[in-house]
Amino acid sequence: MIDLRSDTVTQPTTAMRQAMAQAVVGDDVYGEDKTVTKLEETAAQMLGKEAGLFVTSGTQGNQVAILTHTKRGEEVIVEADAHVFYYEVGAMAALGGLQTRPIAGERGMMPLTAMEEAIRPQNIHFPETGLICLENTHNRAGGTVLPLSYMQSVKELADRNHIPVHLDGARLFNAVVASGISAKEYAATVDSVQFCLSKGLAAPVGSVLVGTAEFIEKARKWRKMLGGGMRQAGVIAAPGLIALTQMVDRLADDHVRAKRLAQGLANIRGIVVDVDRVETNIVIADVRDSGLTPDEFLATLSECGVLAAGFGGTLVRFVTHVDITDDHIDETIAAAAFTTRMR
């Protein structure tokens, strides 16, 4: 099967499996796992922050960050299609007692004026604005890259209002590779960053959260409360280190393949793709004009050996990753053309 459902389906590389077998480990809740510590320090250094925290997933990293930054009853400004709002099971409300203030963005960017207006003034009736969340690259916008200048403007606005900013950088390294802007430069515009090791970077498990030493100390306790205190976690941190140090540059190949896939799909009658929007490894196709529902489209596509994912409404998402080759792209375009003709 050619599996384009997500970049989370990647298999760990041979080097990762060897590193897992040989990892030096200890009880990380006691702070004694040298491999975990090395991953946390490496991540913090790469992002120019004081400290890092290895977490079980991107969702856990985001929610630990949100819990650490906020108090119950506060309001969190989020883009209306943000992962923290759309895909995290309502955790902000359920675990944090927080109210979300979604603002519709363009290519993942909330308009600055709308953000400014959404920040609550002092008034006995109002909740306090406790946090602003950004997402780069932005998944539901199609893997779009938030420009550094935009993030700087958000930080300026947030600082003026004494509000922290958290970056959901699940795919931050895709933004880094696509833009040539370093992770450090992006991270300098926010207070905390969560990024995934388990997506395009191909590690089997985990994310890292980075921020100030004080922030990470508090976050470590929230992680423990959420059941994320892991013991000999070096066996899963070891492939994470390889992900960070060896798997970043090759993301460029995924981006080239995604662009080619987008162009190929756009040439098929019945499929609409905004090729210009494809900046990284995500391709969103609208299959409405094919006369097929996304489920029908995906079912036939899978009979042709290609998996993609429904993305709400009439949209289908394809994500390229390390296990996808040039031939797979050709086969996927052919399968999509066949699928649309089957109606």
Ligand X SMILES: *Cc1c(COP(=O)(O)O)cnc(C)c1O
Q: Interface residues with ligand X (CB under 6 A)?
A: 57-59, 62, 83, 135, 139, 168, 170, 196, 198, 207
CB of residue 166 to ligand X, shortest distance in Å: 11
- Beta strands 165-168 and 192-196 are parallel
Six-digit token string for 338? 């066949």
CB of residue 102 to ligand X, shortest distance in Å: 15
DSSP-assigned letter for residue 104: -
Cis peptide before 113 (omega within 30 of 0): no
Annotate 92-118 with b (16+ C-beta within 10 A) or e (fewer).
Answer: beebbebebbbbebeebbbeeeebeee
Contact 175, 137 (CB under 8 A): yes
> What CA–CA distance (Å, rounded) separates 178 from 137?
10
> What CA–CA distance (Å, rounded) separates 124 from 40?
41
Q: Which is nearer to ligand X, 75 or 168 (CB)?
A: 168
Q: Which is nearer to ligand X, 139 or 179 (CB)?
A: 139
Cis peptide before 293 (omega within 30 of 0): no
Q: Which is nearer to ligand X, 129 or 139 (CB)?
A: 139
Contact 153, 112 (CB under 8 A): yes
Q: Which is nearer to ligand X, 258 or 335 (CB)?
A: 258
Q: Which is nearer to ligand X, 144 or 290 (CB)?
A: 144
> What CA–CA distance (Å, rounded) separates 335 from 297?
10
CA 247 to chain centre: 16
Query: ∠ CA 148-99-87 to the nearest 5 degrees?
Result: 65
Give the phi and the psi of residue 9 in degrees, each rounded to 5. Answer: -85, 0
CB of residue 143 to ligand X, shortest distance in Å: 9
Q: Which is nearer to ligand X, 139 or 332 (CB)?
A: 139
Q: Which is nearer to ligand X, 130 or 206 (CB)?
A: 206
Q: Which is nearer to ligand X, 68 or 198 (CB)?
A: 198
CB of residue 268 to ligand X, shortest distance in Å: 26
CB of residue 121 to ligand X, shortest distance in Å: 30
CB of residue 16 to ligand X, shortest distance in Å: 17
Tokens 């779009």 sit on residue: 144
> What CA–CA distance (Å, rounded) separates 76 from 335?
42
CB of residue 336 to ligand X, shortest distance in Å: 23
- Alpha-helix runs per DSSP H in 188-325: 213-225, 234-246, 251-266, 294-303
Residue facing ligand X at closest CB distance: 58
Q: Which is nearer to ligand X, 6 or 13 (CB)?
A: 6
CB of residue 309 to ligand X, shortest distance in Å: 12
CB of residue 198 to ligand X, shortest distance in Å: 6
CA 163 to chain centre: 22
Contact 45, 106 (CB under 8 A): no
